[in-house]
């Protein structure tokens, strides 16, 4: 990484200094402010370079800084809530080393999933005593290979579905989103395989992707369920950091912070705020529809139709988030792909108006 490594070492040193010196009552605020200010500066400085340059190091550095923010704020919350206590009677180096090791161990900086400090400490202390789960890592690598093979096959089919009709355009958008999702799935599986080989595998149910999560993501007819299952360690971190601590509009605040954490590009702002509105609509629309679907045929129609809607909404949101320029985002806004999100927004407004009128 060369000089880009300094972008990680500087905030790590500052965070460790705060973790050791600040009072537990205010430690979370200080660490959160430091990390997010540094990360925002890095996004502003390296964002265009990561998109335009052929050098992969700016993108890797930004990704690692985002993971560092997750770990530093998670540890600060642990200390703030009293689940991690400073070790009394230890020297400065003995206190520094576990914190620096947790913040900088490279397998997690390459992509996660986020691991609690207490779990990391237990695994470090047991290294050598417990055999490395190489078989589990091997199966994950085979799974990643299968996902990559599926992605390559779909990539070859993508030009064939291009067309001028509405159906062809929607199919093309859905296939592009599926390619994005397969790329994320492959990366998460490889991240967990690397952690397994290094001896830091996530505990059961704490990883980002398993066969069960993959099945839920691709078969659920609820956008809210997809949202909770997508990138699970980050979802848990956002819930703990923002959703549970926000007194008003926690859902909107969580998605707005997620856009900030991802870099605040126009696509991020629009995509995540659209996602928040769609999830809010999902919470209100589905109880209404499920109450209407009483017969077996109606239930099958309800689940099938809402699954298609969920897939198209996810595709639209991913299209927005992955838009690399404002002009590409404007093309998405003005296309008829926006009809479904707009209709969800209108239905949400009608349901909110109906509830206010009943009250």
Give me the active site residues, please: 231, 262
Number of alpha carbons in the 13 Å side-chain half-sphere of residue 185: 26
The contacts of residue 222 (CB under 8 Å, 6+ apart) are 282, 286, 306, 310
Is residue 229 a contact partner of residue 211, using CB atoms and an 8 Å limit?
Answer: no
Q: Which pairs with CB-CB distance under 8 Å and at least 24 residues apart come from 227-233?
A: 227/275, 227/279, 231/184, 231/188, 232/113, 232/206, 232/207, 232/208, 233/112, 233/113, 233/114, 233/115, 233/202, 233/206, 233/207, 233/208
DSSP string, 7-20: HHHHHHHHHHHHHH
d(CA 213, CA 230): 8
Number of residues in the chain: 359
Tell me the longest C-alpha to C-alpha distance in the chain. Answer: 72
Q: How far apart are CA 324 and CA 322, in angstroms?
A: 6
* b/e sequence 80-91, b meaning 16+ C-beta within 10 Å: beeebeeeeeee
Is there a contact between 114 and 233 (Cβ–Cβ < 8 Å)?
A: yes
DSSP state of 83: S
Distances (CA, A) of 311 to 17, 145, 256, 301: 45, 24, 22, 15
* Residue 347 · residue 283 · CB < 8 Å: no
Answer whether 260's CB lies under 8 Å from 39's CB: no
* Among 326, 219, 320, CA closest to 278: 320
């Amino acid at each position: 990484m060369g000089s880009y490594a300094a972008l990680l070492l500087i905030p790590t040193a500052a965070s460790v200094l705060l973790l050791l010196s600040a009072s537990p009552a205010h430690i979370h605020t200080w660490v959160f402010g430091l990390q997010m200010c540094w990360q925002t500066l890095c996004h502003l400085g390296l964002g265009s370079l990561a998109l335009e340059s052929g050098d992969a190091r700016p993108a890797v550095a930004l990704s690692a800084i985002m993971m560092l923010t997750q770990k530093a704020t998670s540890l600060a919350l642990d200390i703030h809530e009293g689940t991690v206590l400073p070790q009394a009677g230890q020297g400065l180096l003995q206190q520094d080393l576990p914190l620096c090791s947790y913040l900088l161990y490279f397998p997690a900086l390459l992509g996660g999933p986020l691991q609690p400090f207490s779990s990391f400490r237990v695994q470090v202390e047991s290294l050598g005593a417990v055999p490395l789960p190489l078989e589990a890592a091997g199966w994950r690598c085979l799974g990643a290979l299968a996902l990559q093979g599926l992605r390559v096959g779909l990539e070859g089919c993508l030009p064939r579905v291009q067309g001028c009709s509405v159906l062809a355009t929607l199919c093309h958008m859905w296939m592009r989103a599926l390619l994005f999702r397969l790329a994320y799935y492959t990366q998460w599986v490889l991240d967990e395989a690397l952690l397994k080989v290094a001896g830091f595998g996530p505990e059961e149910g704490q990883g980002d992707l398993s066969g069960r999560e993959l099945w839920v993501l691709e078969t659920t007819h609820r956008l809210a369920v997809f949202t909770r299952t997508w990138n699970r360690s980050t979802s848990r971190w956002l819930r703990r950091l923002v959703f549970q601590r926000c007194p008003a509009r926690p859902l909107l605040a969580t998605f707005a912070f997620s856009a900030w954490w991802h870099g605040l590009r126009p696509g991020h702002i629009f995509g995540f705020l659209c996602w928040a509105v769609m999830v809010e609509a999902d919470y209100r629309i589905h109880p209404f529809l499920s109450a209407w679907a009483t017969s077996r045929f109606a239930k099958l129609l309800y689940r099938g139709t809402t699954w298609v809607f969920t897939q198209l909404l996810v595709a639209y949101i991913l299209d927005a988030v992955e838009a690399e320029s404002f002009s590409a985002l404007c093309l998405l806004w003005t296309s008829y792909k926006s009809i479904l999100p707009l209709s969800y927004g209108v239905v949400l407004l009608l349901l909110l108006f109906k509830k206010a009128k009943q009250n």
